[in-house]
Amino acid sequence: MRARRSTKIIGSVAALAMAAALTACSGDSDTIRIGVKYDQPGLGLDEGGTPVGFDVDVATYIAEHLGYTEDQIEWSEAASANRESFLQQGTVDMILATYSITDERREVVDFAGPYYVAQQDILTAADDTDIESPEDLDGKVLCSASGSRSANNIVDDMGIGAELREAGNYSECLELLSNGTVAAVTTDNTILAGFAAQNPGNYRMTNNPFGEEQYGVGLPKGSTERCEEINEAITQMWDDGSAAQFLEDAFGETDFAYEESTPELAPCA
């Protein structure tokens, strides 16, 4: 009798565990976890626990297209250095964090998009008129955030002899620029425009853009179907005028000349 009773108890416990697991899985499907930046004005900035900015607006639009309401989104802070690991470890379902599409990154994650094509530029102190182009950075200290290839584009790809200084994020780069530790900060013009607008009179963009940065929606490897759904959302977002409105909301009060043309979407792998 005890053996039969024990078996029933074990069976009941197993059934309860299975039910709990099914409930947990069901709960997971009721939310979507999205990684965005929390420290980039105009793109992804934490304001009282809720991120705001262009990337956040695009992410919300895509989530709604996928069937999620705004209150079903779980936001996570995605720094440049942890974007791949977040997707590989299942910390988030997708990332929109000025995440440029590159062949190197495609080896470990999938991308939908691009949803926007930015260009690279340079930010200096407001009173520094010596730096107008990448060539002027020769022999100077240049800052870029960990996990970003912006500074490498200048030093490695363009062969300019700048001294690289890596910071944890672009907020730290701005601190180094303010105290004179670095001569300039380089990254996408969208990012630099947001910081310049947040600190009027302190910094100057050269407004001499170069290169191209295709912002993609980062996805776990093997997300072909989800990629296609997101590309549909991106096309619709540009067609119905939402993308242009998001750009105006983010950068309309700055002198940043943002692109308003629909980007050419890459095929989903």
- Do residues 144 and 171 both lie within one domain? yes
Q: Which pLDDT score is estimated for 180?
A: 95
Q: Which residue type is seen at 116?
A: Y
Looking at the predicted structure, is the pLDDT value of residue 15 above 60?
no
Quote the domain boundaries for residue 78.
Answer: 31-118+212-251
Bond into 114 cis (ω within 30): yes
Top-confidence residue, 242 or 1: 242
- 260 domain-assigned: no
pTM: 0.78
- Do residues 76 and 126 both lie within one domain? no
CA distances from 198 to 39, 68, 171, 202, 251 (A): 11, 32, 12, 9, 11
Looking at the predicted structure, is the pLDDT value of residue 3 above 50?
no
- 11 domain-assigned: no
Looking at the predicted structure, is the pLDDT value of residue 57 above 90?
yes
Looking at the predicted structure, is the pLDDT value of residue 5 above 80?
no
> What mean pLDDT comes out for the span 78-92?
93
Looking at the predicted structure, is the pLDDT value of residue 201 above 50?
yes
Q: Which pLDDT score is estimated for 199?
A: 82
> What mean pLDDT comes out for the span 29-45?
93
Helix (H) or strand (E) run with residue 187 in it: strand 184-188
- Do residues 124 and 192 both lie within one domain? yes
- Crossing angle for the helix pair 189-198 and 170-178, to the nearest 10 degrees: 60
Cα(184)–Cα(176) distance, rounded to whole angstroms?
9
Q: Which residue type is seen at 28?
A: D
Looking at the predicted structure, is the pLDDT value of residue 10 above 70?
no
* Listed residue (113, 153, 149) closest to 137, CA to CA: 153
